[in-house]
Amino acid sequence: MTLRNCPVCDTQDATPVPEYSRDEWDISACDSCGHVYLRNPPGYGALVEDFAWEKTYVDEHTRRLEERPLTYRLDLATRARHSWFRKPLHVRQAAWFKAGNLLNVGCGDTTDWFQGFTPFGIEISKALAEVSDANMRALGGFCVHGPGATAIGEFDENFFDGIIMRSYLEHEEEPLTVLKGAARALKPEGAIYVRVPNYNALNRHISGPKWCGFRYPDHVNYFTVPDLKKIAAQAGLVVSLLNPIRLPFDDNINALLRRAA
């Protein structure tokens, strides 16, 4: 079995976290920087078919219903709470990116397009990529099928006004490669929106192995804010948190990444 180095600092040595590991999936903490990650991910090839998101979502949904039927049903019933006191997504997106070329990395089969933007995408699932490509070409863009770490290189330098990595980096085996590619493809004044599970969330400390941020085996990185800042800095990017006040109680980190001055 091939064991992966830490995606944040590239150190080989790591200590298993058995309470968060499951079946054959080895979640460990880096001995050097402390980042928690899956050491033996299934590989890009498996993510295309065997562990494609649209398939693992069903399995994960079933698992959560079985493990915590009451709290999970309550969470599903009250998902609208996440939008309380927040501006609509299209308003926030317009403020972050202005207008122009917009890349959605890990786009799935999304149909969320907003006026003023030309949509582009990257998607590893073949079935979802085909749907997004058809939708995006109708609006002047296109979707690339493949791993983010290689597909990001197919776009020109300084091409994008904005890049979305919403619920994506936790799935990516080579997050630093993707961030470096995104920084290259981003216009100097552009921004990258990142949303990842917050490993330091209070809910993770309370829920333990039943925390909503764990997904096996397609979540391969479990970021904290320091982790995100370290890996972003290596790509020449700086992190600005969008949810600093509620962060300890938020299961997700929301941030904008921009080129360092």
Q: For 199, how many CA atoms within 13 A lie in the half-sphere containing its CB?
A: 20
Contact by Cβ (8 Å): 7, 175: yes
Residue 248 is part of a domain; what is its CATH number? 3.40.50.150
Cα–Cα distance for residue pair 39/30, rounded to 1 Å: 10
Which distant-in-sequence residues (6+ apart) come within 8 Å of 242 by Cβ? Answer: 254, 255, 256
135 in a structural domain = yes
CA-wise closest residue to 148 among 120, 182, 186: 182
Count of domains for the chain: 1
7 in a structural domain = no
Q: What is the DSSP letter of 153?
A: G
- Structural domain harbouring 108: 89-259
Q: What is the pLDDT of residue 76?
A: 55
Residues 181-231: tens digit of each pLDDT: 999 999 999 999 999 999 999 999 999 999 989 999 989 999 999 999 999
Give φ, ψ of 79 to 5 degrees: -60, -25
Q: What is the pLDDT of residue 64?
A: 62
Cα–Cα distance for residue pair 146/98, rounded to 1 Å: 28
Burial class (CB in 10 A: 0-12, 13-18, 19+), 210: middle
30 in a structural domain = no
6 in a structural domain = no
Regions of the chain with pLDDT less than 50: none
Q: What is the pLDDT of residue 125?
A: 87
36 in a structural domain = no
Cα–Cα distance for residue pair 40/244, rounded to 1 Å: 32
Contact by Cβ (8 Å): 238, 257: yes
224 in a structural domain = yes
46 in a structural domain = no
Q: What is the pLDDT of residue 59?
A: 63
Q: What is the pLDDT of residue 176?
A: 98
37 in a structural domain = no
pTM, to two decimals: 0.86
Cα–Cα distance for residue pair 216/25, rounded to 1 Å: 7
Tell me how crowded residue 134 is: count the other CB atoms within 10 A of its CB.
12
Burial class (CB in 10 A: 0-12, 13-18, 19+), 218: buried
